[in-house]
Chain A
Amino acid sequence: DAGVIQSPRHEVTEMGQEVTLRCKPISGHDYLFWYRQTMMRGLELLIYFNNNVPIDDSGMPEDRFSAKMPNASFSTLKIQPSEPRDSAVYFCASSGVGTQETQYFGPGTRLLVL
């Protein structure tokens, strides 16, 4: 398996623009997580899905952030409009039956909002 795949790896955008981050979890995994990592706050859980259904989005910072999982192999995290304080590394992770405690992370998307 290729592991968790994220795209793009790097994104530079201007304040006010819409940003869409994409994730393909490991095949067969039924949990998908979106995290944000910054020096100030460390690794923060934004939202997670179980069987494509959003379970807890209490970590989403505000209404500018939204996430979807239309099927078991694809998820998006959208920021609209983006702000400079959204600059961070965004990770997607997945976990599966029999190994739910362990999370497998993607390489991350490094977002810079100017």
Chain B
Amino acid sequence: SQKIEQNSEALNIQEGKTATLTCNYTNYSPAYLQWYRQDPGRGPVFLLLIRENEKEKRKERLKVTFDTTLKQSLFHITASQPADSATYLCALPQDPGGSYIPTFGRGTSLIVHP
């Protein structure tokens, strides 16, 4: 099965800066990778999906990159705002056979200071 590593330490940044979160995985390269946002007391909310043949995906202030050689995805939030403070989870398919069943990382907490 896939093992996912996300920085367990919270990332503290100043409003307006770019936040960069990392997701590393071991074993096989997945067909796609997803990022979710989770606020305290709420369920995770889907943000972006990037496929193995895509190097980069953007959505408004969000950008995700996917490097299958490094087995890594980076998640960027540009012009960060205090409202971006949350935990961000990365998720990959549970197995390499095209399964839709995800395995989630433990998440990284982002704190944006005004």
When distances are taken between beta carbons in the complex, the residues of chain A under 8 Å from B104 are 42-43
Q: Which of A43, A48, A100, A106 has the most CB of B within 10 A?
A: A43
Task: Enumerate chain A residues within 8 angstroms of B43, measured Cβ to Cβ.
Answer: 4, 91, 93, 105-108
| Chain B positions 92 through 109: 1 when the CB is less than 8 Å from some CB of chain A, otherwise 0 | 011000001111111100
Interface segment among B21-29, B44-52, B55-63, B69-77: the answer is: B44-52
How would you classify the secondary structure of chain A's contact residues: helix, strand, loop or mixed? strand
Let me know if A108 and B101 touch, CB within 8 A.
no
The answer to whether A108 and B106 touch (CB under 8 A), given A101-B49, A101-B100, A102-B34, is no
Q: Mark A residues whose CB is within 8 Å of B.
A: 4, 31, 33, 42-43, 45, 48, 56, 91, 93, 95, 100-108, 110
14 pairs, A vs B, C-beta closer than 8 Å: A42-B106, A42-B107, A43-B44, A45-B94, A45-B103, A95-B100, A101-B34, A105-B43, A105-B45, A106-B43, A107-B41, A107-B42, A108-B41, A108-B43
